Amino acid sequence: MSLIQRAGWLLLAGLMVCSPALADTDCPADFAGFQAIQINSQSRTARPDGFGALRFVAARQLTSDAKRFGGLSGIDLLCDNKFVLISDRGNLLTLAFSDELSLANTAMIAPLRDAQGQVLAQKNGGKKSDSESMDWDGQTLLVSFEQQHRILSFDLAKDGANAQGQLLARVSGLAGRANRGMESLARATDGQRIMALERNQDGTAPLAITNKTGEIDFSSLQFPLQGRTLLSGFDVLPASKLQPQLLFSLHRDWSHEVKGRNTIRIAVTKLVSGEGGTLSLGKTKLLSTFHQAVVGVPGNNFEGIAVRQLPNGDARLYLITDNNFDVSGRQVTLLLALDVPKDQLSDFE
């Protein structure tokens, strides 16, 4: 969730709905120490079978000659017209865009560093740099990692590219599950972290909600969407006059429904505050199921999701694919924008 979303949710609760990412809010300057790389983007056409309750806005195929570009597994809104993204190779990127997803031809990139300032991708054969999910609050970036399962906190606003990852929490009990860690991470408006493992345990995904540091316990909660589905992304939409605080989730499932295809699901869940600020999950609605997003692009491995509210009360989702390649070896990275009609946001009673 972006700084503007977090700062604006109280105001939104008393006003007619407008975007938490307002057009007259300036983006922060580029973080110190980031390097510019060239990005090419090509518009792509949506598949004719559509996206269920969601409306297609735009899709862009991204390529770059920069070797560090790719493997994009997490996305958030740095501000109203700039993305912040992470890759599973331990890199952090920012990329400017317009409302209709026209992209800048330059991205800024920097490697993630550990608490001693060393580049994570250069340690343990890269096993410490498998960053999979993230959350930005305007000051700190939280990043979850697989293989060595943990959450690190980076003070980007203060230290830029030299930000050192401070250990926030670890996950125990995942021995032998190097690629089944925390693919989903978001912060609610009160700062509580909502996390899920990329596992299917008795038809549900293990879940944790906490603001504590130290060990994370995934043994008592489960995400309520049943079936063959793996959680790969979270983001939170703050409450407004027209809707409660909502958790958007991104799910994937390789080959179980359609052989050789990745089934993508998008769901939304009401977040409920109880006594003492305890946060729990309320009603969940499945918004969309699809197997291929656009025409002519084989990659469909969506892993990152971000959400913002629009002035008309709708919500806009941004989805990013992880590193995919076609048969020629060319990189296929897809950025997809979908709108959630406002009636889908308020129907939770």
Q: Using pLDDT thresholds of 50, 70 and 90, give the confidence band for residue 225.
A: confident
pLDDT value of residue 328: 53
* Look-up of token digits 């892993």: 303
**pLDDT of the residue at 349:** 61
pLDDT mean across residues, the chain: 83
pLDDT at residue number 238: 95
Q: Residue 7 pLDDT more than 70?
A: no
Nearest by Cα to 261 from 47, 43, 45, 86: 47
The torsion angles phi and psi of 127, rounded to 5 degrees, stand at -65, -20
Cβ(287)–Cβ(261) under 8 Å?
A: no
pLDDT of residue 314: 96
Mean pLDDT of 66-91: 90
Task: Look up the CATH number of domain 3-26+47-346.
Answer: 2.120.10
Tell which residue, 175, 198, 167, has the closest CA to residue 185.
Answer: 198
pLDDT digits (tens, 9 = 90+) for 268-287: 999 999 888 889 999 999 99
pLDDT in tens, 320-343: 998 654 555 566 789 999 999 999
Average pLDDT over residues 74-79: 93
**pLDDT tens across 161-191, in order?**
999 999 999 887 665 455 567 889 999 999 9
30 with 216: CB under 8 angstroms? no
The pTM (predicted TM-score) of the whole model is: 0.89
CB distance 194 to 234 below 8 Å: yes
Residue 234 predicted with pLDDT over 70: yes
Distance between CA atoms of residues 99 and 109, nearest Å: 22
pLDDT at 126 over 70: no
Return the percentage of the chain with pLDDT > 90, whole number.
48
The reported pLDDT for the residue numbered 79 is 87
**pLDDT of 18 over the 50 cut:** no
When pLDDT is averaged across residues 143-160 and rounded to a whole number, the result is 89
SS (H, E, C) the chain: CCHHHHHHHHHHHCCCCCCCCCCCCCCCCCCCCCEEEECEEEECCECCCCECCEEEEEEEEEECCCCCCCCEEEEEEEECCEEEEEECCCEEEEEEECCCCCEEEEEEEEECECCCCCEHHHCHHHHHHCEEEEEECCCCEEEEECCCCEEEEECHHHHHHHCECEEEEEECCCCCCCCCCEEEEEECCCCCEEEEECCCECCEEEEEEECCCEEECCCCEEECCCCCCEEEEEEEECCECCECCEEEEEEEEECCCCCCCEEEEEEEEEEEECHHHCEEEEEEEEEEEECCCECCCCCCCEEEEEEEECCCCCEEEEEEECCEECCCCCEEEEEEEEEECHHHHHCCC
Nearest alpha-carbon partner for 80 in 19, 11, 168: 19
Confidence of residue 243 (pLDDT cuts 50, 70, 90): very high
pLDDT at 29: 65
pLDDT at 4 over 90: no
* Residue-range domain boundaries for the chain: 3-26+47-346
pLDDT tens digits for range 29-69 = 678 899 999 999 999 999 888 999 999 999 999 988 888 88
Predicted confidence at residue 310, as pLDDT, reads 94
Q: How many residues belong to the chain?
A: 349
pLDDT of residue 260: 62
Question: pLDDT per residue over 293-309, tens digit each?
Answer: 998 876 678 999 999 99
